[in-house]
Amino acid sequence: MLRPVLYCKLHQACVTQADPEYVGSITIDADLLAACGLRVNDRVLIANCRNGARFETYVFRGEPGSGIIGINGAAALLTEPGDRVIILHFAQMTEAEYAEHHPAVLVMNEDNSIAETLQYDPDPVPDAVQYASNAAL
């Protein structure tokens, strides 16, 4: 069985541009993509910390070192420059893949430089299997 789990996250990134006239997507600085493992065309969920809006889109590669976090297309109507957003990417994983995966989390500064890099540890798979067994009772 495959389960959708967190692959990586950019926490509190600052929107640098919002362009409703541009073809959809989110443009992210290529250096940030490399730092967390995101790729062009990956599907992401974005949460706006100012207004609570949540939306999905796909990734475009931005100029390396630019700090760009650009919300494009219709989603740009849900954000404005200066908004802080959380960008989440999920992956389908088996239990074995999950047990070995440590999602990369980039905590961002206001200028979209990386303040801190974290990794989340997976819950031990045996506990997850035990929970599933108990939940069936």
Give the residue numbers annotated as catalytic, written as ranges.
Answer: 25, 58
Q: What is the 3-state secondary structure (H, E, C) of the chain?
A: CCEEEEEEEEEEEECCEEECCCCCEEEEEHHHHHHHCCCCCCEEEEEECCCCCEEEEEEEEECCCCCCEEEEHHHHHHCCCCCEEEEEEEEEECHHHHHHCCCEEEEECCCCCEEEEEECCCCCHHHHHHHHHHHCC
Q: Whose CA is closest to 59, among 27, 37, 33?
A: 27
Distance CA 57, CA 49 (A): 17
